Amino acid sequence: MADSLSPECTPLKKEYDACFNAWFEGYLEPAVSASASPQKQAEYSQRKAEEFQQKCGKIWESYRGCVQKALKEKGLDKLLEQSRTENPLTEPPQSSMPPSSSSSS
């Protein structure tokens, strides 16, 4: 994994990355079987969100705080705010791939 924006944040980043990767691995495998019904999928997602918060939430908040401090110290916080003002991300970007065609000739 790459280092963080600031050397002081790198240990937190590595700890968070390890936590997230372990959690995500456990999320993906049973997610396929949980997707059988929308209700089961919603219940599963809620449980996994709570699990993530319990296992990785504090690490994420510490890492995020460290990065925000580093952004401010480097003067990048103003550039980010300007970018968000000029180009707000209000909707997810649309895929550039054309829809697949299922018709046969």
d(CA 63, CA 9): 6
Neighbouring residues of 25: CB distance < 8 A, sequence distance ≥ 6: none
C-alpha torsion sign, points 58, 64, 70, 73: negative
Task: Record the pTM.
Answer: 0.71
* pLDDT tens digits, 9-57: 999 999 999 999 999 988 876 656 656 678 887 888 899 899 999 999 9
Q: Where are the domains of the chain?
A: 7-86
Torsion of CA 88, 92, 98, 99, to 10 degrees: -150
d(CA 89, CA 21): 26
User: Under a CB-based contact definition with an 8 Å cutoff, are residues 12 and 63 in contact?
Assistant: yes
